[in-house]
Amino acid sequence: MVQPIRKAVFPVAGLGTRFLPATKVMPKEMLTIVDKPLIQYAVEEAMEAGIEEFVLVTGRGKHLMEDHFDHAYELEAILTERGKEAELEAVERVAPDPGKLSYTRQRRPLGLGHAVWCARQFIAGDPFAVVLPDDLIQAGPGCLKQMVAAYEEVGGNIVAVEDVPREQTDRYGILDVADDDGRLVRAKGLVEKPKPADAPSTLSIIGRYILQPEVFEHLDKHETGAGGEIQLTDAMAKTVGDIPFHGLRFEGRRFDCGTKLGFVAANVAFAAARDDLRGDIREVLREII
């Protein structure tokens, strides 16, 4: 029996420079896909996977996310008064239980590994999940829930993986594959953002992780890697050999909402999956293109 995953870390301190001017005052995680901000998709996916405690690792200018997950008394009062039940439900459904959502600031942009390290007190020796809201995954059941099922089979550290074109390996953490059964891939090593010629495979890490607390022993050292940043991939790589490490080829479609193309594509795909928009979105797209 593995220890269940009840805590999740959401690194949300990034500046979102690719989306300026939209992200001049608004955190990139508040960008909306149809009618919901990216951060809410991430939190809902975690809830579906059984996560009960949430920590957002934020930075300057990210307070809008705190407001988003808070009660909005005036708005709720007006919606109640006007009998807008569906809208009220959409607003109230947003948040984890009181006291179950925490925030800590990364303060300096030293890398993803550093962001996760900033949540160490909250993790307090438990296994945990990491969700990067930029990677939006359209799937049922959700990607993290699929990973929890895999974790119950094999334990250890698990990341979501996807094959990418070889020319893109320098954008991702890449697995050095030991065994591959088509669904679960056992890794014997990991490399952060290798050049296409040096990549040990084209199997890339997508922003979902289930990690054992031992990763903090390596993050504690603050060693820098690719791009001069403290990399989560490097800390995970150091656990290989001590702890099983698997990649899960999840079922579903991933959108890289850290890029404009991925973000627009996600909006179209999520709209096309909704009963209230499906028909019209097809027609509109046909007209435009």
Binding positions for ligand G1P, rule: CB under 6 A: 112, 132, 135, 172-173, 192, 204-207, 231-233
CB of 171 to ligand G1P, least distance (A): 7
Q: What is the distance between the alpha carbons of residues 144 and 159, in angstroms, rounded to a whole number?
A: 9
CB of 26 to ligand G1P, least distance (A): 19
Scanning the chain, the segments in alpha helix (DSSP H) are: 38-48, 63-68, 73-81, 85-92, 112-117, 120-123, 143-154, 215-219, 232-239, 260-272, 278-288
Nearest one of 236, 205, 215 to 123, comparing CA atoms = 215
79 vs 233, beta carbon nearer ligand G1P: 233
CB of 160 to ligand G1P, least distance (A): 9
Backbone angles phi, psi at 49, to 5 degrees: -85, 0
CB of 62 to ligand G1P, least distance (A): 16
Nearest one of 152, 157, 283 to 218, comparing CA atoms = 157
CB of 222 to ligand G1P, least distance (A): 16
137 vs 271, beta carbon nearer ligand G1P: 137
Count the residues in the chain: 289
From the centroid of its chain, how far is CA 62? 17
CB of 179 to ligand G1P, least distance (A): 21
Integer CA distances (angstroms), 96 to 8, 9, 54, 90, 120, in order: 12, 14, 8, 14, 20
CB of 110 to ligand G1P, least distance (A): 12
Asked if 48 and 144 count as a contact pair (C-beta separation under 8 A), the reply is yes
| Token output for 115 | 């962001």
Q: Kindly report the CA angle at 139 between 269 and 193, in degrees rounded to 5? A: 85
